[in-house]
Amino acid sequence: MEAIIRAGLSQLGLLDRVPPEAPGQLAEYGRLLLEKNRVMNLTAITDPEQAARLHMLDCAALLTVCDLRGRRLIDVGTGAGFPGLVLKILEPSLELTLLDGLAKRLDWLGEVCAALRLEGVVRLHGRAEELSREPGLRDSFDVAAARAVAELRVLCELCLPFVRPGGLFVAMKGPGGGEELAGAAGALSALGGAPEGCRSYPVPGAEVTHQAVLIRKNAPTPPGYPRRWARIQKAPL
Ligand code: SAM
């Protein structure tokens, strides 16, 4: 796995920018993921090469799209740590918070952080739409990121409330990211976001092009948001 990750990082133009130990750490993370996946549902991917490409390199590619040095970032619906933990390994100056509704996954992520000697990673257990009402979390992160959690209109309501005015929300999407962004105009205007673009990037060796949707937060979250989960789901903005 390490050779694939190293070659992919080189193809993305990132190899010279990341810590020398990062490719080995990502390979070890992948090994731990596939091992734990035998007893806990973490990923549908079971092949090491696919895990290297579609998890590690897909998330790594985000660093070609935005500069995350020294940023305070929350990964909403992190699951098995994607994209947050990959970004932390590649950019250690990141102040990372991993949020998920499933405590077991966060417990395992704690074990991964210990095994890889990653310090300062905050793990938050709970529903995004509830936690973003808490002072210290609401309107406070430089960046919120999410991958494979929900369609963009729903995701905006789960993620934008965490972002400080002037900060960025990054949604990792497949090839349909641009269309989702066009359909999310109502959500953006309700939540104080403005589209900043949709950047396509290749996933090395995977013959797929993914898209990062970038949304700038330009005003604090209005008091009525986010709504309760049933409402968010039933009537997306
Ligand atoms: N982001 C990871 C990835 O790309 O592999 C995980 C994706 S997984 C399909 C979706 C994750 O989001 C699950 O772990 C789930 O528990 C979490 N999730 C979904 N809705 C959530 C919410 N409203 N609040 C907190 N976590 C949520």
Could you tell me the residue ranges of all domains in the chain? 2-234
**For ligand 1, atom 27: residue with the closest CA:** 77
What's the gap in Å between 44 CA and the centre of ligand 1? 14
Q: What is the pLDDT of residues 48-61, one digit of tens each?
A: 999 999 999 999 99
Q: What's the whole-number mean pLDDT along residues 205-226?
A: 95
CB 162 within 8 A of CB 140: yes
Q: What's the whole-number mean pLDDT along residues 207-227?
A: 95
The mean pLDDT value of the chain amounts to: 97
CA 68 centroid distance within chain: 12
- % of the chain exceeding 70 in pLDDT: 100
Mutational test site, ligand 1, from 97, 125, 134, 149, max ligand atoms within 8 Å of CB: 149
Q: What is the pLDDT, as a whole number, of residue 207?
A: 85
Residue 7: exposure state from Cβ atoms within 10 A (0-12, 13-18, ≥19): middle
pLDDT over 90 (residue 82): yes
Q: Which residue has the tokens 């709970």?
A: 126
pLDDT over 90 (residue 33): yes
**For ligand 1, atom 8: residue with the closest CA:** 79
* Distance separating alpha carbons of residues 113 and 110, to the nearest angstrom: 5
Tokens of 203: 């996933």
List the one residue out of 37, 35, 23 whose CA is nearest residue 79. 37
Q: What is the pLDDT, as a whole number, of residue 169?
A: 98
Q: What's the whole-number mean pLDDT along residues 92-110?
A: 98
58 lines ligand 1 (CB under 6 A): no
Q: What's the whole-number mean pLDDT along residues 201-229?
A: 94
What's the gap in Å between 80 CA and the centre of ligand 1? 9
Residue 120: exposure state from Cβ atoms within 10 A (0-12, 13-18, ≥19): exposed
How sure is the predictor about 13, in pLDDT bands with cuts at 50, 70 and 90?
A: very high
DSSP H or E run through 144: strand 141-147
Tokens of 60: 């790594």
Residue 173 pairs in a beta bridge with 211
SS3 161: helix
Q: What is the pLDDT of residues 181-204, one digit of tens each?
A: 999 999 999 999 999 999 999 899
pLDDT over 90 (residue 71): yes
77 lines ligand 1 (CB under 6 A): yes
CB 99 within 8 A of CB 131: yes
Q: Which residue has the tokens 């991993």?
A: 98
Task: State the fold for domain 2-234.
Answer: Rossmann fold (3.40.50)
Q: Which atom number of ligand 1 is nearest to the Cα of residue 81?
A: 2
Mutational test site, ligand 1, from 41, 100, 112, 152, max ligand atoms within 8 Å of CB: 100
Q: What is the pLDDT, as a whole number, of residue 36?
A: 98
Q: What is the pLDDT, as a whole number, of residue 42?
A: 97
What's the gap in Å between 5 CA and the centre of ligand 1? 24
